Structure 1
Amino acid sequence: MLVGVTVSFVFAAERRQLILEMVRANGAVSLRELARVVQTSEVTVRRDVRALEAEGLLDRRHGGAVLPGGFTRESGLPQKSHLATAEKTAIADVAAGLVGEGEAIVVGAGTTTQELARRLARVPGLTVVTNSLLVAQALAHANRVEVVMTGGTLRGSNYALVGSGAEQSLQGLRVSRAFLSGSGLTAERGLSTSNMLSASVDRALVQAAAEVVVLADHTKLGADTMFQTVPTDLITRLVTDEPPPHEDRAGTELQALADQGVQITVAGAGQNAAEPAPPARRARQDVPLPGQRGRHPGASALRGAGAPLPAEAPPADRGPARVADLRRR
């Protein structure tokens, strides 16, 4: 549960002190949550965060604020779970629609992939290879889903198996898709993370898959962290949420990714989970951005949260990747 105090009204100095205490208590807090706690607009909170950053008291991130030095530090799972929760749910809903019956996939560690795993429990005949204890736990009681865990050393901050044992267990495997998250995504460097061991395992997951699907909410667009996991030219598809109108950098990054050939699928987030998506957004059809790959026609339609996409066929040059294909090369 997020630590904080709800107030009816505060002056600017008091409001900023509350914001600072929230960030110190939780490590990372979204602008939406900060605005809710201090009962003001996100525009005002954003201005407060800028002022606190200028004093060196915290660092801004897209859609939130973190403790100073966030570029080299990875937030723990409790902190990550409070960032962009509605957006992650919408992304997971859409990503689950990309998975068909009887497929074999790999799923990396992360709070967004954990949300995806909860939805994959309903896919019959699915095989999921993962290094995440949380992904495995979400699928533990799914009778029709087989879960294959890597070896490795447990990394407690995100409940993931890392190290040479994890990487070696992935050698020679072939699956249809890899679903990965990370700490940041840019058109220049692709997907990145703050931890070297996690990055190394993610690269091994990519090598096992015919396609790479990145799940990243708009707060990660334009963020660049220490260790590259997936270069842009290896990313087949990005599933994200619609950036707010004021997030110009996120929109620019989406366009740059599309120009480099990444297929963009936008989930209908952008509002509180309790609020329905606007009808126009639900009905809107996708107009491909310049440079999008067209290997899977019709699969990049913009849908509202929870609207599944049809399962895609793997590329013709690599052949179908079903459970039977989960074998040593």
Structure 2
Amino acid sequence: MFAAERRQLILEMVRANGAVSLRELARVVQTSEVTVRRDVRALEAEGLLDRRHGGAVLPGGFSRESGFPQKSHLASAEKTAIADLAASLVTEGEAIVVGAGTTTQELARRLARVPGLTVVTNSLLVAQALAHANRVEVVMTGGTLRGSNYALVGSGAELSLQGLRVSRAFLSGSGLTAERGLSTSNMLSASVDRALVQAAGEVVVLADHTKLGTDTMFQTVPTELITRLVTDEPPAPDDRAATELQALADQGVQIAVAGPGGGGTDSGGPAGRRPRRMAPPPAAAKTDDLPLPGQRRAHPGGGPPPQLRGAASLAEQPPGNGRVADLRRR
């Protein structure tokens, strides 16, 4: 395929989806990520798109929201690895909330095997994934159906969450930055996500590397309320994504990275690199020990919460020692 043909196809994919990862572009145009990166730079120089961490987006300061069919095919391997790792946090008999999104839908498919679990959700797709799980109780919010992502939104959804008390909220979004936290492109979705956060003792954000450093219109979870981030490993040359991870870690967000082969899946990273795994989660907290809704959990000794630990966790050492930034030298 000639360069002009590749670039036209790349441009069409970005216009159709809003944002596309370099890995996905390389797969579709059947070339290397190095070649795709050169094509993206050339298109950016012409003002036709913007480069973002490990991918390309529509030009402009904010990314627009893609439709669900398009999003479900973006970074699918990364989302699978993230879902595998996030599922290891959930323990038997726990009560959690799971927001709408393609990554949280992948998580829900893995939660069907957790006995005694109660899942509160505003997502029809999350509920569908758990519909035949005999050992899992699913509680749906009320609200108005938003067809683009099969989620219930509006005052009905928010009112049904009042007085709710769960241990964790698992949320995704359109973008994640250290400055503003998690954000989305839709006001109604953002409002419901904020209500989900208020019901949870801690917040776990699921976001693949293409969302790191991307800012969208409506803030859903400020950085100080994010307990953990479960993400995939950015491509080796992606300095900006590694910098964003370091900034999040410096603000006390615990980082867990699903590497190639992590959780029994292949995230598409370089061959031979060991998978990054997260330490086993602590036992589910008793209801009396949970912090007030929307507050960060207190940690012994004060200060920011300890980093997730594991053989290859990005947060193996205290923030500021350059562990996350080491990704930039790989």
The TM tier, using the shorter chain, reads: 0.7 to 0.9
Indicate conservation of the 8 Å contact 1:97/1:311, yes or no.
no
Superposition map of 1:157-236 within 5 A: 157-236=148-227
Q: CA deviation at 1:88?
A: 0.7
Identity of aligned residues (%): 86
Q: Could you tell me which residue of structure 2 aligns to residue 267 of structure 1?
A: 258
Q: CA deviation at 1:65?
A: 2.8
Residue aligned with 2:23, SS: helix
Indicate conservation of the 8 Å contact 1:94/1:308, yes or no.
no
Residues 171-199 of structure 1 deviation map (CA, whole Å, 9 limit, x = unaligned):
01000000000111111111111111111
Indicate conservation of the 8 Å contact 1:244/1:270, yes or no.
no
CA 1:244/1:275 → structure 2, altered by over 3 Å: closer, same or farther?
Answer: closer
CA 1:275/1:195 → structure 2, altered by over 3 Å: closer, same or farther?
Answer: closer
Indicate conservation of the 8 Å contact 2:54/2:234, yes or no.
no
- Aligned: 1:125 with 2:125: no
Q: Could you tell me which residue of structure 2 aligns to residue 36 of structure 1?
A: 27
* TM-score, normalising length: structure 2: 0.80
User: What is the distance in 1 between the residues matched to 2:279 and 2:142?
Assistant: 32
CA 1:265/1:168 → structure 2, altered by over 3 Å: closer, same or farther?
Answer: same
Indicate conservation of the 8 Å contact 1:179/1:212, yes or no.
yes
Q: Could you tell me which residue of structure 2 aligns to residue 16 of structure 1?
A: 7
Superposition map of 1:1-329 within 5 A: 10-68=1-59, 71=62, 73-269=64-260, 273=266, 281-282=274-275, 302-303=276-277, 309-314=280-285, 318-319=289-290
Q: CA deviation at 1:264?
A: 0.9
Q: CA deviation at 1:60?
A: 3.2
In the alignment, structure 1 segments of 5+ residues that lack a partner are 1-9, 283-301, 322-329
Q: CA deviation at 1:85?
A: 1.1
Indicate conservation of the 8 Å contact 1:64/1:83, yes or no.
no
- Give me the CA root mean square deviation: 2.6
Residue aligned with 2:285, SS: coil
Q: CA deviation at 1:317?
A: 6.8
CA 1:33/1:279 → structure 2, altered by over 3 Å: closer, same or farther?
Answer: closer
In the alignment, structure 2 segments of 5+ residues that lack a partner are 293-330
Residues 195-221 of structure 1 deviation map (CA, whole Å, 9 limit, x = unaligned):
111110000000000010011111111
Indicate conservation of the 8 Å contact 1:218/1:243, yes or no.
yes
